[in-house]
Structure 1
Amino acid sequence: MSTGTATYARDSFGSTYSSLYVRAYFQLRSLPSSTVTLVGFRTGSSVSIARLYVDSQGRLALRNDVGATSTTGPLVSLSSWHSVELHLVVNGTSSTIEVWLDGSPVSALTTQTANLGSALIGQLQLGENQTGRSYDIAFDDVVVQTARVGP
């Protein structure tokens, strides 16, 4: 739970990857005051590439920080545990973004024509790194690997 402080963790991988998956379980206990990041990938120098978040209306959404675009997807129910999986393939303007919610593909957040630049994935971020936002969210069982994890 946060009432305005940043609550996040980051992990560096030790090497960089052009393709990587992250799957996490989360429980949204209340709607955020703004947006709240769930999971995201960053470069080895900690620059955000892309991240999944929940908006103030309870919708799962994707932020492509390289391409400076945001796309909203389905509503996420409160007080239930959900699995979310993000897959990035960094390949310039032909990059791939894939998203699954509770094991089902989210077509609104999936593309093979994203611009993710050329800097490879070097870090994972879990949670929200911005201050001034209120939210109550729990995380569990985060897995990062080079193949699809699944629910």
Structure 2
Amino acid sequence: MSAQPLQQQHAGAVAGSSGLRRTARLEAAGFLDALDLPGPAQSLLPWARALEGAETAAQFHVITDTVTGSESGALLALRDFLRAAGGWCDDHGDRAFGDRYRRASDLLDVADRLLFQLGVDQLAAHENAGLSSAGRNPTGVRQPVLPLATR
């Protein structure tokens, strides 16, 4: 592969998406290696393992909501990353691509709202069915209900 920048290699022809991505990886390999960053999904792996150990709807909800719905969660971090990518495109004269990244980030806002409501619905269903503490609470004292729709 030529060491020419990506845009010069493909000035006259449009390569397939796999070829473009492969060329970009090769072109930026040294840059990415120098950053010495962990894999983007690495921080989610312990959360996925914790989810497997959840025994109640409340435990499940708290883990899932922390990952997907909290301000420090992965979903909103990805949304913010895409907004930053849009800003980078704007700063480099690619406003149309910046807008596309921002529209993609808006979809994550929609996903956040859908996941929030899904979590509330699941908690309510378990509470209504008496499943939130069934067989999990040795004291027999009913667990407090989390307030619904607080976002």
Larger radius of gyration: 2
Report if TM-score (shorter chain) is over 0.5. no
TM-score, length basis structure 2: 0.20
Could you say which structure has the greater relative contact order, defined with CA pairs below 8 angstroms and 6 or more residues apart?
A: 1
TM-score, length basis structure 1: 0.20
Looking at secondary structure, tell me which structure has more strand per residue. Answer: 1
